[in-house]
């Protein structure tokens, strides 16, 4: 069985999706729908902005979602089917739209509210985030719990990488302990501690903006970052998504749950193949590939796609409005 995975923030790059859209102009409705709701020309922003401009949260979140949905529509057009859906953080919103939980219009309404709340939090709150490599998640949890102040794991990306977030001083103290224990740490160039309780204000603002939006049951099994498992209760999605903003992304647990359910093929829809790399590091026997341009699409159709082994550095190259850093998606 096959799961579609949807990319998260940090994976964006200028002109992403341009080639696919030129080859499939009928999917221009995605950008038109988004632009009407957002109040700016998303296609122009995505295809003509600089790397720094596109990295701004208010632009990057809807741009990644639109590009991911463009990849999804292109896959459907080419008879590539899926049996389950999931996303990494931001990617959950494209996943929900792809499996019918949200209309395209409501999908972009929700992402507009999320981007606005998180952009505001990034300017008004202080926090820090670090990627921790070469240390088990259990040891990272233990050190965080023993560190003075508030610092917690927030992204369980793979067995070899976890992201922590929290108060600046506490996160720095924890990072020192990780380094002393032989782990590698990289501070992310962000001003807020995403997916932690320091985002409670943004979470509440987001909930108020989306509480009346209608969510449907998905057309295929949908796996949640919050639970790290198959989601079965869809009765209050606005509350769950608000909780998502202050909860860890349990991506490794999601992958394990999908694999246990018989899913052994993963197709990432969106920019930069980041989740493809995380799948390979987590599920050694699974097949993982991506669709982000015509080359990868044709390879998937011909079933000759061979994912080259990227160096750890290449897999983990990310960009934010504050600059370039090395870590998989976190928002």
- Give me the active site residues, please: 89, 195
Nearest-angstrom CA–CA distance, 276 and 114 = 25
Chain position carrying tokens 């019918």: 100
Helix H or strand E encompassing 3: strand 2-6
Compute, in degrees rounded to 10, the torsion defined by CA atoms 42, 118, 224, 274: 60
Q: How many CA atoms lie within 13 A of 77 on its CB side?
A: 17
Residue 230 CB burial class (10 angstroms; 0-12, 13-18, ≥19): middle
Residue from 71, 69, 59 nearest 97 by CA? 69
Tallying the residues shown for the chain, one arrives at 331
Within 8 A by CB and 6+ apart from 157, the residues are 163, 249, 251, 252, 278, 327, 328
Nearest-angstrom CA–CA distance, 252 and 328 = 13
Chain position carrying tokens 């990072």: 175
């Amino acid at each position: 069985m096959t799961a579609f995975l949807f990319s998260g923030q940090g994976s964006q790059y200028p002109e992403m999706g341009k080639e696919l859209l030129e080859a499939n102009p009928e999917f221009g409705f995605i950008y038109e729908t988004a632009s009407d709701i957002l109040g700016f020309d998303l296609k122009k922003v995505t295809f003509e902005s600089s790397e720094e401009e596109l990295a701004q949260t208010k632009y990057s979140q809807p741009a990644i979602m639109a590009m991911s949905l463009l990849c999804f529509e292109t896959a459907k057009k080419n008879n590539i089917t899926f049996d389950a859906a999931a996303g990494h953080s931001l990617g959950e919103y494209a996943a929900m739209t792809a499996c019918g939980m949200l209309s395209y219009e409501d999908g972009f309404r929700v992402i507009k509210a999320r981007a606005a709340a998180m952009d505001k939090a990034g300017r008004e709150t202080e926090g820090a985030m670090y990627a921790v490599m070469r240390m088990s998640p259990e040891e990272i949890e233990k050190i965080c719990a023993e560190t003075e102040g508030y610092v917690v794991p927030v992204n369980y990306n793979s067995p070899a990488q976890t992201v922590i977030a929290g108060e600046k001083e506490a996160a720095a103290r924890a990072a020192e302990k990780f380094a002393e224990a032989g782990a590698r740490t990289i501070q992310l160039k962000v001003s807020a501690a995403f997916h932690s309780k320091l985002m409670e204000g943004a979470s509440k603002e987001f909930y108020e903006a989306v509480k009346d939006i209608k969510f449907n049951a998905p057309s295929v099994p949908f796996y949640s970052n919050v639970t790290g498992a198959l989601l079965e209760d869809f009765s209050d999605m606005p509350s769950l998504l608000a909780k998502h903003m202050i909860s860890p992304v349990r991506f490794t647990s999601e992958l394990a749950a999908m694999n246990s359910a018989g899913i052994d093929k993963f197709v990432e829809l969106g920019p930069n193949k980041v989740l493809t790399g995380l799948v390979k590091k987590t599920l050694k026997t699974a097949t993982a590939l991506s669709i982000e341009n015509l080359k990868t699409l044709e390879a998937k159709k011909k079933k000759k796609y061979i994912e080259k082994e990227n160096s750890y550095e290449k897999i983990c190259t990310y960009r934010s409005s504050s600059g370039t850093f090395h870590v998989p998606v976190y928002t």
